[in-house]
Amino acid sequence: MLDSLLDRVTRSDKRFTVYGRGDETDIERQFEAHSVVVDWQQLPPDGPEPFVVVAEGGEVVGVIPLEELEWLLTPPVVRPSDPTNIAPGYRVLFEVLDETVFTAMNRRQLLAVSHEIEDRARRVGNGRLHASFQHLSAFADQVEWYWTLGETDLDIHVYGAPDWEPPEIPGVTFHGYGDDVLERYWVVTFDGGTEELQACGLVGREFDETYDGFWTDDPHLVERIETELVAGAGPD
């Protein structure tokens, strides 16, 4: 379910311990929007060159020289095309970078992230785009934009509680659901189409008129989000 998926992503089991000299680096600030705990340890003057110990689930999985980590974090950050062929410490690093966690985001901010995902899908022009608007009535302001998206070769699916009858839009399939658990969620996923590295997804859970959640560029996590959304919505 989306609840367990969101809780897993936002509950950090990853820790970066920075061993350095002098003043602390801004590594912690750079990772403050990601699901990772960052610690700082002072190295003695005669110790080794600064480095970062990467741990996952309480176990050390790798060590990265601090200078190299700072270089990897210099924009634009380039993800490996095949993360299975890199050392575990670097794999965890890029997993962390692929998941941006947020709290207390409002609808306007969430809509901006959603439009970025949708626009990426439009630029690719093919693949699957799924969007859950909580209630189909919330889709009313997006009709013109989705007409534009429907003119591509995208396979588009829109979900929401059936409190409004949307117009027929070529290329767009609507799904109503009655699960009040799903009504708490704002979800957008794009599988990347023919460009898997363009895959991206967003999960927001409403809480006191704001949203907590995450967005990701990890194709495997995007697929998981899509699967949970489709399964949760059930048959039409």
Share of the chain above pLDDT 90, in %: 58
In this predicted model, what pLDDT tens digit does every residue of 99-124 receive, in sequence order? Answer: 899 989 999 999 999 999 999 999 99
Domains of the chain: 12-97 (3.40.30), 100-233 (3.30.870.10)
- Say what the pLDDT of residue 79 is: 74
Across the range 37-56, mean pLDDT stands at 91
In this predicted model, what pLDDT tens digit does every residue of 158-206 receive, in sequence order? Answer: 999 999 999 999 999 999 876 677 889 999 999 999 999 899 999 999 9
**Which tokens hold the place of 138?**
């919330």
| 22 vs 98, higher pLDDT | 98
- pLDDT category at 27 given cuts 50, 70, 90 is confident
Residue 227: count other Cβ atoms within 10 Å of its Cβ: 12
- Say what the pLDDT of residue 113 is: 94
Rounded Cα gap, residues 17 and 20, in angstroms: 10
**Which tokens hold the place of 47?**
């110790």
- Say what the pLDDT of residue 98 is: 87
Rounded Cα gap, residues 38 and 53, in angstroms: 10
- Say what the pLDDT of residue 124 is: 98
Q: Is 122 exposed, middle or buried (0-12, 13-18, 19+ CB in 10 A)?
A: middle
Q: With 70 as the cut, is the pLDDT of residue 236 above it?
A: no
Query: Which pTM value belongs to this model?
Result: 0.83
The torsion of the CA quartet 14, 20, 22, 24, rounded to 10 degrees, works out to -10
Short-list 99, 101, 94, 96, CA closest to 78: 94
| 168 vs 95, higher pLDDT | 168
